[in-house]
Structure 1
Amino acid sequence: MKLTTVLAGGLAGALTLNLLHETYRQIDKDAPKIHLIGEEALLKILKSANLPLPKNRDELYKWTLAGDIISNTAFYSLIAAGKPKNLLKRALILSMSAGVAGVFAPKKMGLNNAPTDRTLETKVLTVLWYTLGGSAAAGVMKAFKR
């Protein structure tokens, strides 16, 4: 598969995930707040590396969002690895696994897990959003491949 196709699919998955997250958290106060985990992780990394910190919450949010889009693009691009006929199966397995990790990994990494582990709703929505991102990535890759 061409690199442009792979990256377009990865970006589609990342944008789908972030648009779902950003839109839904404006509507429902109990929505997963994945961005808070990203912000906490980014601050820990910057502090441990003695790098400059964002000047304010707005800047921290923007840095985290940019990092999310870049890292999720790279992650969703992995869906293209392997036989084309297994694209959707790989998308579902990888993206559901990422959603489950989004619920359970923060605590194991010393981060606050409440933003995605607070209620059954936050857990289900976290897994669902990552899965929909993977489905979007696979769909774009498949469409561009034609």
Structure 2
Amino acid sequence: MKPEIKNMAGGLAGALILNLVHETAKRVSQKAPRIDLIGEEALTKSLNAVGVSAPTGNKLFGTTLAADLIANATYYAMIGKGPRKHLLLRGAGYGLFAGLGAIGFTQKLGLSDKPVTKTTETKVMTVAWYLLGGLAAALVIKKVGEIDDERSGILELA
């Protein structure tokens, strides 16, 4: 299997885990980060800046969720670049950097950071969930690589 496909499979897994945790937590905790609100604000401001009306309601949510999944999957897929022995370390690094970036750069990008900085718990959850996504991506990339290695070994013996 091509490395790009392995990496995208891992990236997609990390993005799905991240978004599942976010979507579940926002329904059960007032302190949960609301990355979705930041995404919606970013999409709306970006479209309005180029003279396009942004969707509203469920269409805005769906469009933002799709864009978030694609962006996070692409970002997490980069974890697969480099030596295999450092996959988990890279996964942790990418996840940690994304989480810290979400809390530290949102306001600098002209967006409200309140959805991810409202409490210390919110900040910790934000970083932890991006870290979880990075580790999930790394583990999937690692496992897919191992399965691919086993198949290659079987083919070589045949």
TM-score interval (norm. to shorter): over 0.9
In structure 1, the partner of 2:112 is: 112
In structure 1, the partner of 2:102 is: 102
Contact 1:104 1:117 in 2 (8 A): no
Q: Distance in 1 between matches of 2:38 and 2:82?
A: 31
Q: Could you say which structure has the larger radius of gyration?
A: 2
Q: Distance in 2 between matches of 1:103 and 1:39?
A: 16
Q: Runs of 5+ in structure 1 lacking a partner? A: none
2:6 partner SS: helix
Q: Note if 1:48 corresponds to 2:45.
A: no
In structure 2, the partner of 1:5 is: 6
Equivalent residues in 2 for 1:1-146 (5 A)?
A: 2-54=3-55, 56-146=56-146
Contact 1:25 1:32 in 2 (8 A): yes
Give, in angstroms, the shift of residue 51 of structure 1.
2.3
Give, in angstroms, the shift of residue 93 of structure 1.
0.8
Q: Distance in 2 between matches of 1:117 and 1:106?
A: 10
Deviations 1:55-83 (A, max 9, x none): x2211111100000000000000101111
Q: Runs of 5+ in structure 2 lacking a partner? A: 147-158
Q: TM-score, normalised by structure 2?
A: 0.89
Q: Which range is displaced more, 117-126 or 42-51?
A: 42-51
Deviations 1:8-37 (A, max 9, x none): 000000000000000011011221111000
% same residue: 44
Contact 2:43 2:54 in 1 (8 A): no
Moved over 4 A (4+): none
Give, in angstroms, the shift of residue 130 of structure 1.
0.2
1:10 partner SS: helix
2:30 partner SS: coil
Amino acid at match of 2:39: G
Give, in angstroms, the shift of residue 49 of structure 1.
1.4
